[in-house]
Amino acid sequence: AQSVAQPEDQVNVAEGNPLTVKCTYSVSGNPYLFWYVQYPNRGLQFLLKYITGDNLVKGSYGFEAEFNKSQTSFHLKKPSALVSDSALYFCAVRRPPYGGATNKLIFGTGTLLAVQP
């Protein structure tokens, strides 16, 4: 069965400091991994995805994520946090699109990022 774990309910960081939001996954086969951000009263916004290739993926708003197959992790990172980055972040996984695999995303429970000025 596929699953995603986001071990931290909340991450606090000071503006200008680097941030990391953790995600580990369990899926059979090579995973497709995604990060989404949710601002209050707004829908989920796509940040970045890993399908294949370079383990370091760059996305929107200066975010990046590192795929680590041996640790089954896909942590979200940003070198310098902004107050406007404060939001709820979701990691998601799906199985690759072959062998009858469905296209559904399995989401983690989310991590609230709070960036203090």
Partner 1 sequence: GAGVSQTPSNKVTEKGKYVELRCDPISGHTALYWYRQSLGQGPEFLIYFQGTGAADDSGLPNDRFFAVRPEGSVSTLKIQRTERGDSAVYLCASSLTSREGEQYFGPGTRLTVT
CA–CA dist 2, 82 (Å, integer): 33
Size of the residue set binding partner 1 (CB under 8 A): 24
Name the minimum Å distance from CB 68 to partner 1. Answer: 21
Choice between 15 and 107, CB closer to partner 1 = 107
- Per CB under 8 A, the list member of 1, 53, 70, 103 interacting with partner 1 is 103
Kindly give, in sequence order, each residue whose CB lies less than 8 Å from that of residue 60, ignoring residues fewer than 6 positions away: 45, 46, 47, 48
Residues 17-46 that bind partner 1 (CB under 8 A): 32, 34, 36, 41-46
CB of 64 to partner 1, least distance (A): 16
Count CB neighbours of 100 within 10 A: 6
Write the CB contacts of 104 (distance below 8 Å, at least 6 apart in sequence). Answer: 94
The least distance separating partner 1 from the CB of residue 113, rounded to whole angstroms, comes to 15
Inter-residue contact 70 to 5 (CB < 8 Å) = no
Point out which residues bind partner 1 (CB under 8 A): 4, 32, 34, 36, 41-46, 49, 51, 90, 92, 97, 102-110
